Amino acid sequence: MTFDIATLYIVVGIVNFMACMLMIVFWRINKMVKGPALWAASASVSFIGFILMQTWDDSYRIFLNNCGTLIGALLLMEGILRFRNIGNERKRLKYIIFFMILSVVMAYINQYNPTARYIYHDFIVVAVSIISALAMLYKTTKLQFIVHMYTALAFVIIIPVFSYRWFLAVSGQLETSLVGPSGHFFVGILFLSVIPHIIGWSLGLSLAITYQMRQEIEGAMEAKWLQAQIQPHFIFNTLNSINALSTIDIKKMRRLVEAFSDFLRSKFDYHSFSRWVSVNEEIDIVNSYLYIQKVRYSDKLTIQIDRKDSDVFHLPTLTIQPIVENAIKHGIMKQANGGTISIKTIQKGEYLRVIIKDNGVGIEASNLQSILQMNKDETRGVGLINTNKRLKQGFGDGLRIKSKVGVGTIVSFTITKKFV
Domain match, 203 and 54 both: yes
From 221, 253, 284, the end of a domain falls on: 221
Residue 57 shares a structural domain with residue 116: yes
The CA distance from 328 to 408, in Å, is 11
Structure confidence at residue 227 (pLDDT): 54
Q: Name the band, by pLDDT with cuts 50, 70 and 90, for residue 376.
A: very low
Domain boundary among 221, 237, 262: 221
pLDDT of 177 strictly over 60: no
Q: Which amino acid is at 11?
A: V
Is 404 found in the same domain as 375? yes
The strand pairing partners of 306, in sequence order, are: 344
316-337 average pLDDT score: 88
Do 285 and 373 share a domain, yes or no?
Answer: yes
Torsion 111-114-120-124 (CA) sign: positive
Percent of the chain at pLDDT > 90 equals 32
Chain segment 42-99, per-residue pLDDT in tens: 999 988 888 877 777 666 778 888 888 999 999 999 999 999 888 888 889 999 999 9
Q: Does residue 231 carry a pLDDT above 60?
A: no
| Residue that is last in its domain, among 221, 242, 261 | 221
pLDDT tens-digit series, residues 140-151: 888 889 999 999
**Residues with Cβ within 8 Å of residue 382, at least 6 apart in sequence:** 226, 229, 322, 374, 376
Q: Give, to the nearest 10 degrees, the angle between helix 181-227 and helix 114-137.
A: 20
Q: How confident is the model at residue 270 (pLDDT cuts 50, 70, 90)?
A: very low
- 99 plus 216 within the same structural domain: yes
The set of residues, in sequence order, having a beta carbon less than 8 Å from that of 266 and lying 6+ positions away, is: 272, 285, 288, 317, 318, 321
**One domain for residues 146 and 254:** no
Give me the pLDDT at residue 73, please: 94
* Residue range of the domain that includes 126: 5-221
61-70 — which CB contacts under 8 Å span 24+ positions? 62/107, 62/111, 62/117, 63/107, 63/108, 63/111, 66/103, 66/106, 66/107, 66/111, 66/117, 66/121, 67/103, 67/104, 67/107, 69/121, 69/125, 70/99, 70/100, 70/103, 70/107, 70/121, 70/124, 70/125
- Name which of 40-44, 261-265, 342-346, 393-397 the model is least confident about: 261-265
321: CATH: 3.30.565.10
The reply to whether 24 and 170 lie within a common domain is yes
Tell whether 168 and 237 lie within a shared domain.
no
Q: Taking residues 389-398, report their average pLDDT.
A: 82
**If pLDDT is split at 50, 70 and 90, which confidence band does 377 have?**
very low
pLDDT at 371 > cutoff 50:
yes
Most confident of 195-209, 265-279, 294-308: 195-209
Q: Smallest Cα–Cα separation from 354: which of 301, 263, 279?
A: 279
Measured in whole angstroms, how far is the alpha carbon of residue 172 from the centre of its chain? 43
Considering the domain architecture, whether residues 172 and 38 belong to the same structural domain is answered as yes
